[in-house]
Structure 1
């Protein structure tokens, strides 16, 4: 994706739809609309997946908690949401198999009654999934549970219930949707924000005034329909289009800590590894300890937040998450083991302003403002992004008078064409000189696009070396991100394209000087500009460390 070429199109072409926001819902709408043959413009004020969509728990799931709420309260909305999400779970594993895969989860059981309760609930979960079930849930004895999750404290464990959901790489999937939209003709650009909405004589929106935040240039995007896919910020755009609109959005904060893979025992090679899921902690939250990209991902919190917050992991949140995990493991994890972490806002669609954020149904709504014509997609969650997009673009097609069928249920995303479970092995066989962990990482991150990164090593063999000693990310990925993935800043590369900034802060600082040098070469930064970009990003990472530990951090 060449940003200059896409910007030129945004400035000069007329579009059927202009989508504002390129997180999960916006990128999903873009891929849906473009694959229907509509003329699509997409702008994102920061980077693709920089907000809520890049800070999830990395699970594609129906929602065991929502199922429990549905049964306890006889709530058909919760039940419908679970059913829809379970359907979409299988779809995601099909259209992006390199980024999404099944994950075994274990719920610890302390007695027979509790075990029966969980086992029956998860059989209902299996039943709701129907033919799209991954594998049947099982009630395991203590010895079996310890094989799958050796970190358990066997003294406290009676047994465990095992079931399956999906795991995915949220930021890379977000980018894959943008790339797929571009492949089908959409014009896309990051670091472009809306300055104003433009209406014609009828009062209906027909253009957007946009600002390139990197160059400072303002320009106009002409479109017949404008879609508001800005997540927690949706109200700001809704009220800009129509000042009479009420407040619909609220937010809750979810924080996660990341531990090295060595922080807790791993399942032996011959045994399927499992994640820990505690459906309800003492304060009513859900706790996960998930193996992800060679690390342990521990989450999540659920606290009230303002939609304008800039969330980060805080000391009390890190301490809370580790304290909860330590109730179930034999070797308590000390706070010093935390290597990284992140926090994000969940976009919650408000119906009852007095309800707890934990009780809000994570469903969505497509709203069409009759005064301005603005189409807003609000609420929802990652697992149901495709349905959200389908309903949104259906509404846009109705407004345009161009009924066109949705094809995204079978539309393979970038990197999925030709990918199967044996692809990583085939890639390793073709490149026996490369480290196994690097090749596995490239296959799991880029799918069948992985050879394009390796081809760069012909240009410069040094690009095959690691950015940080303990991680599989290589220099060529920085080059590839700048040339083909519209990465324009150090956070674009290190926080999102390769995600090192989420999982290991010290390794990110280790990788920073070389990453800055590589990106400066590709983007034509001067020596002074490169030094400033490096200093700014170093301060940002040190700020994350300081916020998470409550301690002042000094430069290395």
Structure 2
């Protein structure tokens, strides 16, 4: 992906569709539209997946809690969500097998009756999955449970195991955007829409864009504009037409990261009951254990949601009945907060009860299309519905083909190739496995860059990734790299903090930063990480 060339295209070309927002849904719309033969631009105020799409629970699922709500409350909107999620699950895994895979989830139970309840529920859950290759749910004895997760409390009776999918959300979103770029989409990050230009009838015909990386302004012309800005969609809707009413009710969810020995397992755990009526997942991710999530209404959209001390207390208390030994706060390595783009209901439901469905809205006054709501698992379906609507407005009849389109790095992917790479490049196994799982068949492209040294002794990330992600994946800032290219910010705040100067030196060479710019970037990012630690009341 060449940002400079794409900026020039935006300045000089006219597009059929301009998509605002490059999270999963926006990138998904861009790829879908390009595969239908449309001329497309995709612009993002921050970085690919910088907001909601990099801050999920990393699961591809229908939502077991939604299924329970559907039957308990006769809420068939929730049931539709489950069905859509499970139908899309196998497509998400199939199209990028290096970034997504099946994951076993263990639900501990404390009585025979509870075990029967969850077995029946999870069997129904699996029933909704079409074209599914996942193993069926099964009831495990106490002995079988401890063989899979040895750190659970001895008080449990048994457990129920089922399968969902797991993905690296930020890199999956990047793969969608990168694949769109490969199909001819003019993809640009760090570019903010600040105003719209309109014709005599009030229809949008252009957008004024501020290039936040180059500190300049430009105008993009397009027949149609699509708003895919997730929890921030109301701001674009009102920029296009101030008479519109707000539609979204964002909610905040947080996760914290703990060491791997909390589970000592490749399987995840589902905690089915919390004090606020949610479920919590305890999931192996990148060699650590991720615990989350919460669900609280969030109104200050100008402030990034972060993991806070009282949320840590809630999650640790939630773990207490399920683990033989609950870790101390000092064991927490990092955490993150994200926003869900929930569509407001007419009543006063709590955010955790709002349906995670999506809606494609067309404002006839401005001609803006807005994709509202939704969740990660159904990003492709959301994009399909949106581009179907766009094609109708443009008078084009072309079908969606994303169901069978491999994302970059996915076609002919073989994980076992790491063994050949280890011999060929004389690299440690963990480094080669990491490269295969993040870049797929592009892994050798990373290794073309000379430096194979580790960025940090505890992690498999190498210096060549810095150069590759700047040149090929449009990494423009230190946080682009640490938070979304290699995910180190999610795993370990202190290790990230300590590695910043080394990465800054490498990025500076590629991006021609002055010494002053480099030092400014370093201090700004280090200050951000210290702020995260302070909010969580974690000292490292």
Q: TM-score of the superposition, structure 2-length normalised? A: 0.98
- Among 474, 477, 486, the alignment partner of 1:486 is 474
SS at match of 2:284: strand
Partner of residue 413, structure 1 = 407
- Give me the whole-angstrom Cα distance separating, in 1, the residues matched to 2:240 and 2:17: 16
Task: Map Cα deviations across residues 507-526 of structure 1 (whole Å, 9 max, x no partner).
Answer: 10121110000000110111
1:314-329 alignment runs, 5 A limit? 314-329=308-323
**Residues 211 and 219, structure 1, Cα contact 8 Å, conserved in 2:** yes
- Give me the whole-angstrom Cα distance separating, in 2, the residues matched to 1:287 and 1:424: 33
- Among 515, 534, 540, the alignment partner of 1:546 is 534
SS at match of 1:391: helix
Partner of residue 162, structure 1 = 161
Deviation (angstroms), 1:265 = 4.4
Partner of residue 467, structure 1 = 455
Partner of residue 70, structure 1 = 70
Deviation (angstroms), 1:216 = 2.2
**Residues 306 and 535, structure 2, Cα contact 8 Å, conserved in 1:** yes
- Give me the whole-angstrom Cα distance separating, in 2, the residues matched to 1:484 and 1:26: 20
Task: Map Cα deviations across residues 330-380 of structure 1 (whole Å, 9 max, x no partner).
Answer: 122111000111010111011235110010000000000011110000000
SS at match of 1:409: helix
Partner of residue 290, structure 1 = 283
Partner of residue 442, structure 2 = 449
Q: Are positions 1:495 and 2:452 aligned together? A: no
Deviation (angstroms), 1:550 = 6.5
Structure 2: which 5+ runs fail to align?
Answer: none
Partner of residue 36, structure 1 = 36
SS at match of 1:348: coil
**Residues 65 and 278, structure 2, Cα contact 8 Å, conserved in 1:** no
Deviation (angstroms), 1:9 = 0.3
1:216-295 alignment runs, 5 A limit? 216-262=215-261, 264-267=262-265, 273-295=266-288
- Give me the whole-angstrom Cα distance separating, in 1, the residues matched to 2:299 and 2:484: 24
SS at match of 2:98: coil
Task: Map Cα deviations across residues 482-505 of structure 1 (whole Å, 9 max, x no partner).
Answer: 111111111111111111111101
- Give me the whole-angstrom Cα distance separating, in 1, the residues matched to 2:71 and 2:362: 32
Partner of residue 181, structure 2 = 182
Q: Are positions 1:331 and 2:330 aligned together? A: no
1:200-211 alignment runs, 5 A limit? 200-211=199-210
Task: Map Cα deviations across residues 294-338 of structure 1 (whole Å, 9 max, x no partner).
Answer: 110011111111161420010111121122113211122111000
SS at match of 2:371: strand
- Give me the whole-angstrom Cα distance separating, in 2, the residues matched to 1:295 and 1:219: 43
- Give me the whole-angstrom Cα distance separating, in 2, the residues matched to 1:250 and 1:265: 35
- Give me the whole-angstrom Cα distance separating, in 1, the residues matched to 2:512 and 2:497: 22
Partner of residue 137, structure 1 = 137
Deviation (angstroms), 1:426 = 4.3
Task: Map Cα deviations across residues 72-101 of structure 1 (whole Å, 9 max, x no partner).
Answer: 122221111101100100001100100000
- Give me the whole-angstrom Cα distance separating, in 2, the residues matched to 1:400 and 1:298: 45
**Residues 232 and 307, structure 1, Cα contact 8 Å, conserved in 2:** no
- Give me the whole-angstrom Cα distance separating, in 2, the residues matched to 1:281 and 1:35: 44
**Residues 64 and 279, structure 1, Cα contact 8 Å, conserved in 2:** no
Task: Map Cα deviations across residues 195-232 of structure 1 (whole Å, 9 max, x no partner).
Answer: 10111112211111111012221111000000000111
Structure 1: which 5+ runs fail to align?
Answer: 268-272, 458-462
**Residues 250 and 307, structure 1, Cα contact 8 Å, conserved in 2:** no
Partner of residue 270, structure 1 = none
**Residues 90 and 131, structure 2, Cα contact 8 Å, conserved in 1:** no
- Give me the whole-angstrom Cα distance separating, in 2, the residues matched to 1:278 and 1:550: 25
SS at match of 2:244: coil
- Among 388, 393, 403, the alignment partner of 2:397 is 403
- Give me the whole-angstrom Cα distance separating, in 1, the residues matched to 2:335 and 2:308: 9
- Give me the whole-angstrom Cα distance separating, in 1, the residues matched to 2:328 and 2:202: 59
- Give me the whole-angstrom Cα distance separating, in 2, the residues matched to 1:6 and 1:437: 35
**Residues 142 and 158, structure 1, Cα contact 8 Å, conserved in 2:** yes
- Give me the whole-angstrom Cα distance separating, in 2, the residues matched to 1:107 and 1:96: 27
- Among 306, 313, 320, the alignment partner of 2:307 is 313
**Residues 34 and 40, structure 2, Cα contact 8 Å, conserved in 1:** yes
> In the comparison of the two structures, how many residue pairs are matched?
539
**Residues 37 and 184, structure 1, Cα contact 8 Å, conserved in 2:** no
Task: Map Cα deviations across residues 24-57 of structure 1 (whole Å, 9 max, x no partner).
Answer: 1111111111111110011100111111111000
Partner of residue 381, structure 2 = 387
Task: Map Cα deviations across residues 403-423 of structure 1 (whole Å, 9 max, x no partner).
Answer: 111110010001102113434
- Give me the whole-angstrom Cα distance separating, in 1, the residues matched to 2:130 and 2:210: 48
- Give me the whole-angstrom Cα distance separating, in 1, the residues matched to 2:137 and 2:423: 35
Partner of residue 6, structure 1 = 6
Partner of residue 82, structure 2 = 82
Partner of residue 513, structure 1 = 501
Deviation (angstroms), 1:429 = 4.8
- Give me the whole-angstrom Cα distance separating, in 1, the residues matched to 2:183 and 2:36: 9
- Give me the whole-angstrom Cα distance separating, in 2, the residues matched to 1:107 and 1:424: 33
Q: TM-score of the superposition, structure 1-length normalised? A: 0.95
Partner of residue 122, structure 1 = 122
CA RMSD of aligned residues (A): 1.3
- Give me the whole-angstrom Cα distance separating, in 1, the residues matched to 2:347 and 2:193: 28
Q: Are positions 1:23 and 2:23 aligned together? A: yes
- Among 463, 488, 504, the alignment partner of 2:492 is 504
Q: Are positions 1:524 and 2:512 aligned together? A: yes
Deviation (angstroms), 1:536 = 1.0
**Residues 427 and 443, structure 1, Cα contact 8 Å, conserved in 2:** no
Deviation (angstroms), 1:527 = 1.3
- Give me the whole-angstrom Cα distance separating, in 2, the residues matched to 1:253 and 1:489: 25
Deviating beyond 2 angstroms after TM superposition, the runs of 4 or more aligned structure 1 residues are 420-431
Deviation (angstroms), 1:259 = 1.2
